[in-house]
Amino acid sequence: MEGVEAEIVIVGAGIAGLATSLGLHRLGIRSLVLESSESLRVSGFAFTTWTNAWRALDEIGIGDSLRQQHDRLYGIVASSIISGLPTSEMSFTTKASHGDHEVRCVRRKFLLEALQKELPSGTIRFSSKVVSIEEDSGGCFKMVHLANGSVVKAKVLIGCDGVNSVVSKWLGFKKPAFVGRSAIRGFADFKCSHGFEPKFLLFVGKGVRCGFVPCNEGTVYWFFTFASSTKDKEIEKNPAKMKEFVLSNLGKVPDKVKAIVEITELDSITYSPLRSGRPWELLWANISKGNVCVTGDAFHPMTPDIRQGGCSALEDGVVLARCLAEALRETPSTAEAKEGYGKEYRRIEMGMKKFAKERKWRGIVLVSTAYMVGFVQQSNGVVVSFLRDKVLGSFMAGLLLKRADFDCGKLSIS
């Protein structure tokens, strides 16, 4: 790829990167997506897809195909690991200010493949790890250096490269902080119907938090988050020990729910430390600078406690595609053509600033909420545990719907 030049370069073929690329494609704008891995990164198995995410998926045109593969969830039941008794229950059929609530658990693999399928051939270039970024002599173009020694010249650079983002580092973001908790995630594939109601089952207590979420009639996604310790080294690369650890810490979770973990194949279990951005740092962060910006986890890394990481990345994709399309839709006048790229660069810069302004507070709210919910739900303190189980259960569940009751707007531009 020596000497390649692209109008828009997106770093990272995750949810944020592919959603942004597809949003631009729907608006007639081509982009180049650079992905460090050899193929789509489908680890993570599944994520809860809330109302706000379905609005974004519908805007980029893949909502209906994903609905056919994933059952709709109709509520959440929170219970205590210690007593085994329900502490709160809430329906998802409640009306939202922007329409009906819609919640499903979507397999990451299916989502990424649906996004890729709609993109023009050649949009994604795999095995293209970005190692550094520099400006050209004029300061307008960005020179993206890859691990294989090649360089891509970008008119617009978008960082969708996750919590270890090279682009966010270039913008001056600090590395997301480890929050002292880790997650073990799994995906159980039943040979026949699993028999569970289409509800999100959440269990909290003893410093842990676990959830079991049906994706469809035959599959269930589960997660287990806990306070990390020095013993994590013994399990983090051993799926068998991960499964054993989870089963030994499930408390009074019903046997039929424990069976979900028991039947999970070892190659369907992963471990990851949880990291989060600092909300107060987002207040001063440069989400965009000139013709460079970040989206998704590169912009607002958050703990999974409100299940909004992937959802907000989809929102980012729609909003950024719209803002960029507005900036690029004008045909350069004769005077602009004589001036060179400068006038167009300023339009792109304003489009990036518009995106940053529209998304900044949303990112701060989500990161802050996720951190707060995680602290309360996984606290092992007597007072906080009592308030969580007796007073805050319904409030915390309602907070999930409140953060999901959001509309990122239309993809189309007037």
- For residue 142, the cross-strand partners are 135, 154
* Mean pLDDT, range 145-168, rounded to an integer: 96
Using the CB atoms, write b or e for 287-303: b if 16+ within 10 Å.
Answer: bbbbbbbbbbbbbbbbb
Q: Is residue 414 part of a domain?
A: no
Q: Is residue 410 part of a domain?
A: no
pLDDT in tens, 252-266: 999 999 999 999 999
Q: Is residue 287 part of a domain?
A: yes
Measured distance CA(48)–CA(75) in Å, rounded: 12
**Tokens of residue 82, six digits:** 């210690």
Q: Over 90: is that where the pLDDT of 385 sits?
A: no
pLDDT the model gives residue 1: 45
Nearest in space to 116 (alpha carbons), one of 47, 49, 35: 35
Q: Is residue 125 part of a domain?
A: yes
What is the rounded average pLDDT for all residues in the chain? Answer: 89
- Which amino acid makes up residue 119? L
Q: Is residue 413 part of a domain?
A: no
Which residues, including other chains, have CB under 8 Å from residue 407's CB and lie 6 or more apart? 52, 55, 98
Contact between residue 262 and residue 240 where contact means Cβ atoms under 8 Å apart: no
pLDDT band at 245 (very low <50, low <70, confident <90, very high): very high
Query: How many domains does the chain divide into?
Result: 1
**Tokens of residue 217, six digits:** 């009639």
Measured distance CA(226)–CA(118) in Å, rounded: 38
Q: Is residue 409 part of a domain?
A: no
Q: Is 301 left (phi over 0), alpha (psi -120 to 50) or beta?
A: beta
* Mean pLDDT, range 127-138, rounded to an integer: 91
Q: Is residue 352 part of a domain?
A: yes
Measured distance CA(10)–CA(21) in Å, rounded: 7
* Mean pLDDT, range 71-97, rounded to an integer: 87
The mean-pLDDT minimum among 151-165, 293-307, 359-373, 395-409 falls in 395-409
> Cα dist. 307→73, 219, 400 in Å?
14, 19, 8
Range of the domain at 204: 4-404
Q: Is residue 412 part of a domain?
A: no
Q: Read off the pTM.
A: 0.92
The mean-pLDDT minimum among 115-119, 214-218, 279-283, 307-311 falls in 279-283
Three-class SS of residue 149?
coil
Residue 181 sits in a domain of what CATH number?
3.50.50.60
Q: Over 70: is that where the pLDDT of 127 sits?
A: yes
Beta-strand ranges (E) seen in 35-191 are: 46-49, 72-73, 75-80, 86-91, 95-96, 99-100, 103-107, 124-125, 130-135, 142-146, 151-159, 177-189
